[in-house]
Structure formats: structure tokens, C-alpha cells
Amino acid sequence: GSGSGSREAVERLVREHPVVVFMKGSPAQPLCGFSNAVVQILRLHGVEDYRAHDVLQDPDLRQGIKNYSNWPTIPQVYLNGEFVGGCDILLQMHQNGDLVEELKKLGIRSALLDAEKDQEKK
């Protein structure tokens, strides 16, 4: 189909920006704790420039993105068109340093690198 939930439509969305998040609500007003956690993690890294799609506005997209990633839950995070995972995976990547590396590959410098520098100076 050519609706917003079709594979082609979803693929366009995940490729339209280096960082794409499918969530409940918006970054300014997340409507679930897991979506909020994803927004907060990105904010910690200083990633303000990303695409967020509110699946609550679009049931077709909500189902379409689950089919596309073969992942049953929202939120979903995509880096460079690749499905990364949901809140728990992003949190794990945040904690083990992988997220800093993945962002670096996209040409995005994590704010946490600068934060660490500040701590070394003190």
C-alpha cells in the first residue's frame, strides 16, 4: 500500500535524517515514560537536531514501523537509517559508551565528551 504505514513510506522516514525517533508524543511533550527516556538520553548527548514522529497521531505508521523493524514496541530509534532499538537498548548504549561512538560516525559530537573534559580540568 502507499499509506503512511507502508514499507516504502516508513523507509523514507527512517532515511530522511541521521537520527530518527518514533515515539508517543513529541520531544517537548513525551506521552510515555519510555519515549521520555529516549528524549532525555538524546538531550544528555546534546542531540537536539533529530526527527521525531508521534505514532499516536498515526495508527498506520504505528503499526508500519513495528512491521518494518520487526520490533513490537515504541519508542524506536534509527541512526543513519538503521534500526537501533528501543529505550532499553539506547540506555545500555548510553551507559557503555556505544552511543557516543555511533553518534561520532554520523558526525555528531556527543556533549558528554565535553562534559568529561570539564571534569578533568577541575
Binding residue ranges for [2Fe-2S] cluster: 32
Measured between alpha carbons, how far is residue 38 from residues 10, 11, 69 in Å?
20, 21, 17
Q: Which residues contact 12 (CB under 8 A, 6 or more apart)?
A: none
The annotated binding site is made up of 32
How many whole angstroms separate alpha carbon 49 and alpha carbon 121?
A: 28
